[in-house]
Amino acid sequence: MKKVLSLLKNYKKEAFLAPFFKLVEAVFELFVPLVMADIIDVGISASDTSYIVNKGLVLVLLAAAGLTVAITAQFFAAKAAVGVSGTLRKKLFDHIMGLEAREVDKAGTSTLITRMTSDVNQVQTGINMSLRLLLRSPIIVFGAMIMAFTIDVPSAIIFCIAVPILAVIVIGITRFSIPMFAGVQKLLDKVMLSSRENLTGVRVIRAFNLQDDEKNSFYEKNNALKTKQIKASDFTALTNPITFIIVNVAVMFLIHKGALRVNIGAITQGQAVAILNYMSQILVELLKLTNLIVTITKSIASAGRVSDVLDIETSTSAKESDVTVEENKTDATGDFIRFDQVSLKYTEGSDDALSDISFTVNKGMTVGVIGGTGSGKSSLVNLIPGMYEASEGTVVVRGEDVKTCDRIKLRDHLGVVPQKAVLFKGTIRSNMQIGNEEATDDEMIECLKKAQAYDFVSEKGGLDAEVLQNGKNFSGGQRQRLTIARALVRKPEIMILDDSTSALDFLTEKHIREEIAKLEDMTVFIVSQRASSVMNADMIIVLDDGKAVGIGTHEELLKSCEVYEEIYYSQFERK
C-alpha cells in the first residue's frame, strides 16, 4: 500500500486541493441549518417576507458556492486518481517486463493481467473517493456535533452517544471486509485464467467437443466468484441498515428531547429544526462514509495485490558490468559460448530440467540440439539469452557470465526464433522493425527472401501488408518464416532457432538452412527433432531427460550415441 500511496507525491497539489475544497464545501453546508433556524424563528414567526427572501438568497448563494467548490474538488481528485493509476499501471507493466520468465510463470499471466486492469482500476476509484470524502464526511459529522452543542448541550449529548457506536460498527465491518475482498480478487484471477485458456484454445475445445466440459468448469469458477462476492457484499451491506437503525433511534430521542426543550422555552423551534438537520447531515455523511469504507476496503486489497507483484525481485541480476559485452567477446579460455556443469530447475524442489551440461562453442559454429519431447532442448537454448538462470554451473556467452552481465546489451547481439511463432498486430514492416528499428526496406526484403517469405508477403501487399493479432491471417509455416526473417534483420552474432521450422516442408527448411549457412561469423543454434535439420552442424548436442548423452558431429554420434542413432534411423533407412 505504501508503494501505491508514494505515487501521490507527484500530485501533491491535487492531493491537497481536492480535500481542501471539500472542506470548504463542508463549512458551507454546516451553515445551512443555522440560516434555516433564522428563517423559522425570525422570518416566519414575524411574517417578515423580505427577511425570508433575503435569507433564501443566502441559502442559494451557499448552495452555489458549495456546488462550485465541489466541482473543483472533483476535478483535482480525478486528476490525482487518474494520474496515480496511470503511473501505477506503467510502473507495474515496466516491472513485469523486467521479470525473468521464471517469475512470470510463477505469478501467472492471467493474474498479472487482472492486477494491471481490475486491481489498478479499483485503486483509482479508492483514491478518487478518499480525496473527496475521507476528510469531508468526518468533518461534517464532528462539525454537526459541535454546531449542535453551540445550540443546546442536553440535546447534543445524544450525538455523543450515537456517533461512537456507529464508528465502532463501521471499523469492525471494515476490518473483516478486507480479507473477503482480497479473496474475491483471487477468484477473479481464476475466472480470468479460465476465460483466457478457453479463448486461446477455442479450436482445440471444439475439435474435441469439450464445449460442455469447459462451460461447466467456467460456471463452477464463476459461481465460486459470485458466491464470494455476494458474501462480501452482504457483510458490508449490513452497515447501511445498522446505521439507519441507530440514527433513527437517535432522531427519535432527539425529537422527544427537543420537544421538551421547546416547551420549557430552553430552545426555539428553529433551533430544534436546526439540530434535527444536523442529525440528518450526520446520517447522510455516515452513509457516504460506509460506502467509502467499502470502496477503500476493496482498494486496499487491490493495492496489496499490486504491491505483491512490485515486490517480486527478479532471480537474475541484469546489472551493467564494468566491461561491456562489446569489449570482451571471449572469456579467458578463448571460448565464445561455454556451458560449465550447468543444471536448471524451474522451481525449487522440482526435478532438474537440465543436469550437468558442459560444452564449448567457438565463434561462427553451427550447433544442433536434438532430443525427444521434454528432453530439455528449449531449456538449454533459453539459458543463452538469460531467459532463465542456471540453478548450478556457469553459462558464458560472448565472454561474460550470463548471471552477472548486462542482459539488455547481451540480447542486442542475439536473434531468437521461439518455438511458438509470435507476431504482433500491425504490418509486416512494424513486425520486422521489432528486430531492427533502423532496418531499410531493402534489408527487410533481403531477410524475407532468405527466410523464404518474400513470395507470400508480396502477394499480400508487401511490407505494408496487415498482420492481425498473433498473425492469425498467416499460416503456421508463414508465421515461422516471418519470425526467422525478423531475427535475421537484427544481424545477430548468435542465432537461436528453437524448433522454428517444424511447420515447414523439408525443401523450404533446407533452403533456409542454406541461406543462414552463408552468413559469415554467425553462431547458430538449431533446435529440432528432425535429424535432417542438425546433421550438417559443426557440433550436435543430444539430450535425453535433461542430460547430454552425446556431443559431436553427425558421423561421430552415429557410432557412439545410441539415442542419436535411434532418432536418425527412425527418420532415415539404414543402408
Q: Cβ distance 367 to 541 under 8 Å?
A: yes
Q: Do domains 2-310 and 420-491 have the same CATH topology?
A: no
Q: How many CB atoms lie within 10 A of CB 333?
A: 10
Task: Using DSSP, state whether 467 is helix, strand or coil.
Answer: strand
Beta strands across the sheet bearing 414-417: 414-417, 494-498, 523-528, 366-371, 539-544, 547-552
Instruction: Show the CA angle centred on residue 40, arms to residues 34 and 43, nearest 5°.
Output: 110
User: What's the one-letter identity of residue 530?
Assistant: R
Distance (Å) of CA 517 to CA 235, 364, 521, 538: 68, 10, 10, 11
pLDDT tens over the chain, length 575 residues: 677 778 888 888 998 999 999 999 988 988 888 888 888 888 888 888 888 899 889 999 999 999 999 999 999 999 999 999 999 999 989 888 888 777 787 777 777 888 888 889 989 998 998 888 888 888 888 888 888 888 888 887 887 788 788 778 877 877 777 788 778 878 887 887 787 777 777 777 877 787 888 888 888 888 988 888 888 888 877 777 887 788 788 888 888 888 888 888 888 888 888 888 888 887 788 778 777 877 887 888 888 888 888 888 765 544 444 444 444 455 544 468 999 999 998 876 577 889 999 999 999 999 999 988 888 899 999 999 988 888 899 999 988 888 888 888 888 899 999 888 889 999 999 999 998 999 999 999 999 999 999 999 999 989 999 999 888 889 989 999 999 999 999 999 999 999 888 888 889 989 998 898 888 889 999 999 888 889 999 999 999 999 999 999 999 999 999 999 999 988 887 76
Q: Partners of 467 in the beta sheet? A: 426
- Superfamily of domain covering 2-310: ABC transporter type 1, transmembrane domain (1.20.1560.10)
The residue extents of the domains of the chain are 2-310, 420-491
Domain 420-491 has CATH 3.40.50.300: yes
In contact, 62 and 32? CB cutoff 8 Å? yes
